[in-house]
Structure 1
Amino acid sequence: MISTARLGLRGIGLASVMALALGLSACGSSDNSGAQSAGDVDAALKKGGSLTVWTWDSTMTQVAEDFEAAHPKVKIKIVNAGTGEDQYTALQNAISAGKGVPDIAQIEYFALGQFSLAKSLVDLSGYGADKLTGSFSPGPRNAVTSGDKVFALPLDSGPMALYYNKKIFDKHKIEVPRTWDEYVTAAEKLHKADPKVFITNDIGDAGFTTSMIWQAGGRPYKVDGTKVSVDFSDAGSTTYTKTWQKMIDGKLLAPVESWTDEWFKGLGDGTIATLATGAWMPTNLETGAPKTAGDWRVAPLPQWKAGAAAGAENGGSSLAIPEASPHKELAYAFMEYANAGAGVKSRVDNGAFPATTADLESKEFLAKKFDYFGGQEANKIFSASASQVADDWSYLPFQVYANSVFNDIVGKAYVSNTKLAQGLADWQKASLAYGKDQGFTTG
């Protein structure tokens, strides 16, 4: 399973302890206590200037070119400073050094808290972002706001769906599962029919696990400023672990790491038959398993309760303005264009999945036929999923660190006698211990 890849980019395993983790000294290192002055965005556009944008999103290059064409006095430099962890480390280092900080940075939703709590990001509400937040789907909207503050604008989103190989399902007479219990049954039937075929792969993935708990109604993370708590014994977490333990005990999961050559081979030869992941996946399937074009389909994410309609986000990112940027008004103008203006269509046309409800609900978007999925209008499923995401999910303000140690701790449940519930309990202890060491009040 996967959680962070988008637009043809492979997912990132957060494998090392990062200097991004916050201590209380960092939390109090800025005197920024409220929204920034709105300034004069129009005046900034007329005056022009240069912007540096750190992003791994390949669609942003065209957006920048279009923006420059509309505003000839503005020059935009797109820089790929790395994906995920690599960029966050570079960004934190630049902020600490006080030089080399970009005007705009792409930050995944789960990592936003580490920068916003350290007061390293501009509160965009003073520029009018507070009036834009209603334009985004629930999950991304919740991720970029904190009270009346807005620390970023959603760039894309990852409402989850089930991608399945219809050819394999038809061959073995497998019905598309509507619940996770039916998914387990399908996994058993499929693997019994052909021991070389697995319904999916999973060796332990923090993003997938938290997304599944999110959909199940679990809310293990509570965050109130520098006070945090973690509880993986809540009802939603327990629902997930009991079901997924059956998959582990039955050896129904392909022991293959996502985003490897072996993984793409499995998707292409039918030995990995489904993926439950974000709406950004189509491009990855098209490029990574091109020979199975026409074999795959998209279905709604299986539910924990029959007849329910609950979704979750898996992946997705935002654009934010670092406090150190000297071009805040101009940066906001470009960011609004890219995330909520004409730039959105350009990005969607080039394979991005939007976070803006207007685009998610547009007739053109919903009617798009995906040749890879046999002409299916898959966006209808993705759009519905986006609207079904509960907007009360929280990540830890040191989630990047927590995710980085997931496989060392919870991963044991996939290769030993350790139960998944115990693995999550151990992850909980490790996360809280780390938070306490960094100066957070934990409970």
Structure 2
Amino acid sequence: MDTCGSMSALDRPAAELTVMDVYDIAAVLAHEFERIIDRFGCESLVALVPKVVRVLEQLEALVSRGAAGQEAEELRRELERLRQERSDKSEQERRHQKELELVEDVWRGEVQELLPQITRLQAENKRLLVSLKESPVTEEDLHKQEGMSEKERRVRKKLEDLVEKQRDEIRAKDHELTLRNEDVDALQMQQHRVIRINQDLRHRIGVMEAQGKALIQQRAELQAATQLRQQEVTALQLEVTRLSKELRDMELEREISEVEGSSLTKSGRSLAASPQMTPSEAAPPTTIKPKSVWVECGGDPGFMENCFERDKSPSILQRSSIRRNHEEEADEDEEKGPADTEMQDQSDSPEQDSDKPRFTLQELRDVLQERNELKAQVFVLQEDLAYYKSDESEDDTSPFVCASPPPPCSTSTESGIRRLIFTAIMPMVAAGLITDDPTLLPIRRLSFV
């Protein structure tokens, strides 16, 4: 889920929607469909559900495409920024290089201007040395030479200072250029590191999105299976209630028939033996002890709940067989007629015990528990068989899929939206309003056992 705040997926702007938000919207719509179906019935949503599923799948595809485009746009902007920084640094480096070239040109021009003067001074020095050797030096000439030499020293000193200053400037410019080159190298290394980090983050985001989709699909499957189990349990509880009512009615009818038969037999014998018996003495007994535990406890709701508390999904075949057994017993009791009634009147307690149920309540509960466990195992095996059949069909079609171009986002793996909506439209399928719809694939896979 998105952790950007407490804002729900329906309140987010369209540009900030993600795939997880689309799945949250689908879950909210599924709950709303369930509420509408529980309140108004299935007919009001028969034509709407497939359209809503299709719209949600298209929204999922658009959001996935928009997220990929947004990430690519961010990376493109980052690349443009790095390129701009690199071009600015190269432009600055070229500008510094031009400044250094200008300084060097100025220095060379000054040197070229000073070289003729130095040559002239050297020639003058040679001439003066020759003149000194040829003629004696006077005091005035010495003063003139000292004045000229002092002037030449000042000029030479000035030139040397200028040359040293220019050399210092050149060294400073070289050092600054070296620092700029080091900064450029460091920024390039940082750019490569940022690119690697972006690639790592994109890979992790892809893995997390795949895990989120898998978890959402698993949650949708569990919700659909839970809804299916609840509906099946409700239907079976209704069936159990109906059958228990039928059983109580049958037991009451059989009891009434037995009471009437026994009363007629006893009244005939009493009239034959003592015709002067008073009406109060000849009256048949109004109460007869029931001979079945179902007759005794069939009207007690607590007894029925205890009998069927472990049987949350009874089999219809076993219920029909139990019903047939009770009907056969009722027919046999009716065929026995008055002879059986006389034998029952003359029988003692051992004969009455033989008419009691042959199984105890604990044995009946054990049989029902064992039956439920076997049904659960059969259901698990059927699910495994359907899963392996789907895997085999995918393996058979895999060479053709590899040869074909990759499908678009809308026709990729089965979306979890259909599984979320499936929990809301199960009453429509159970009522037969929606049949073989290709957009409702989980219905055919999670059908009743």
TM-score tier, shorter chain, comes to under 0.3
- The structure where strand makes up a greater share of residues is 1
- The structure where helix makes up a greater share of residues is 2
- Bigger Rg, which one: 2
Greater length-normalized contact order (CA 8 Å, ≥ 6 residues apart): 2
| TM-score (norm: length of structure 2) | 0.19
| TM-score (norm: length of structure 1) | 0.19
